[in-house]
Amino acid sequence: MLRRPRRNRKSESIRKLVSEHRVSADDLIMPLFIVDGINHSEVINSLPVARRMSLDFLLDEIKECVHYGLHTFILFPKIPDSKKDKTASYSYDPDNFYLKAATEIKSSFPDITLISDVAMDPYSIDGHDGLVYNGIIENDETLEILCKMSLAQAKAGFDILGPSDMMDHRVQAIRDHLDKNNYKDTGIMSYTAKYSSAFYGPFRDALDSAPIDDPDIPPHKKSYQMDPANSTEALIEAEMDMIEGADYLMVKPALHYLDIIKSLKDNFALPIAAYHVSGECAMLIAACQNKWLEYEKVMPETLLSIKRAGADAIITYFAKEYLKLSNTT
């Protein structure tokens, strides 16, 4: 036997020497949910690792994350119903608490990278990522709203914008609009391959952003998010985003779409981000709470699998917990 792969697994030292992948703080992006007001820190039942926080609590949370080495955050707003309308107009209102919070976060922590969410759904009475008109999502009209939202976010100080809506050609529309207004250095992390997944449930609980999801009442998120049965379509989306000026390509969800992460990594010379979504975290937490799985082991293994598939950056609700754990082991 000339080849004995077990020789490279002989000792801890050799195993470390030949180890190919490792998840570090630099790979992780921490999602944060913000609510208006002060002194709020609310539990999200279906996602016990995350909380909905007002800015005061959020600044403390960021400070703790920074202490553990995290430096990149993605911020999502929970918008009160009274601010929602058909056209998501509050999303670019200069008085919007989400925009004001971004400015304050960046002035308190100038060295961190702050990523936004560009989508109509938190602000829309229809709960959709696009403008609903006669039961249809109007792509091109939505782009105009996304452009206004993007410029407001760039002005507020977000470093990178995260269009999560899946409208066609939104990267180009946003890039042009930012450039015209002299925000040439604001980046775009495009949700390139965002699937119409059932694993977003806890996130929609967190933000109260579930669409009116009745199969008899169109439209459905399936009319813009990708079909979980498809993979070649992801290549078309990636090519468009690349040509249109995206700085990062994202795959979402992550764990159930590792093949897509790998395929984008192999085919495109852009950094690949993967969104380990709320439902994927929740199922792991539930199994661990039942003592069916060991949290300290399965959680790091999960993040490692996403990294190994080719993700350069991983958005995960476990970001802080992972680093806390690595500090103790």
d(CA 191, CA 249): 6
The single-letter DSSP state of residue 124 is B
Partner residues linked to 116 by β-bridges: none
Q: Which is nearer to ligand PBG, 252 or 307 (by Cβ)?
A: 252
CA atoms within 13 A on the CB side of 282: 19
By CB neighbour count within 10 A (0-12 exposed, 13-18 middle, 19+ buried), where does 74 fall?
A: buried
The piece of 19-27, 115-123, 180-188, 254-262 that touches ligand PBG (CB under 6 A) is 115-123
Q: Which is nearer to ligand PBG, 57 or 200 (by Cβ)?
A: 200
Is residue 278 near ligand PBG by the rule CB under 6 A?
yes
Binder among 150, 164, 190, 192 for ligand PBG (CB under 6 A):
164
Is residue 248 near ligand PBG by the rule CB under 6 A?
no
Q: Minimal distance in Å, beta carbon 171 to ligand PBG?
A: 15
d(CA 100, CA 22): 36
Q: Minimal distance in Å, beta carbon 200 to ligand PBG?
A: 4
Is 194 a residue of the active site? Answer: yes
Is residue 204 near ligand PBG by the rule CB under 6 A?
yes
The piece of 12-20, 153-161, 200-208, 231-239 that touches ligand PBG (CB under 6 A) is 200-208
Q: Which is nearer to ligand PBG, 20 or 313 (by Cβ)?
A: 313
Q: What are phi and psi of 24, to 5 degrees?
A: -125, 175
Q: Torsion over CA of 106, 91, 29 and 307, rounded to 10 degrees?
A: -150
Is 252 a residue of the active site? Answer: yes
Q: Minimal distance in Å, beta carbon 258 to ligand PBG?
A: 17
Binder among 33, 203, 248, 322 for ligand PBG (CB under 6 A):
203
d(CA 263, CA 277): 19
Is residue 200 near ligand PBG by the rule CB under 6 A?
yes
Of 78, 83, 84, 194, the catalytic one is 194
Binder among 121, 126, 159, 321 for ligand PBG (CB under 6 A):
121
User: Between β-strands 313-316 and 272-276, what pairing exists: parallel, antiparallel or unpaired?
Assistant: parallel
Of 83, 252, 307, 320, the catalytic one is 252
Q: Minimal distance in Å, beta carbon 16 to ligand PBG?
A: 33
The count of chain residues that interact with ligand PBG, using the rule CB under 6 A, is 10
User: Between β-strands 136-138 and 131-133, what pairing exists: parallel, antiparallel or unpaired?
Assistant: antiparallel
Beta carbons within 8 Å of 48's beta carbon, 6+ residues apart: 285
> Closest-CB residue for ligand PBG?
203
Q: Minimal distance in Å, beta carbon 254 to ligand PBG?
A: 10
Q: Minimal distance in Å, beta carbon 67 to ligand PBG?
A: 24
Q: Measuring CA to CA, which residue among 159, 146, 257 is closest to residue 200?
A: 257
Beta carbons within 8 Å of 207's beta carbon, 6+ residues apart: 33, 76, 77, 78, 79, 122
Is residue 254 near ligand PBG by the rule CB under 6 A?
no
C-alpha separations of 132 from 183, 217, 258, 277, 312 in Å: 29, 12, 32, 25, 35
- Positions annotated as catalytic residues are 194, 252
Q: Which residues bind ligand PBG (CB under 6 A)?
A: 117, 119, 121, 129, 164, 200, 203-204, 277-278
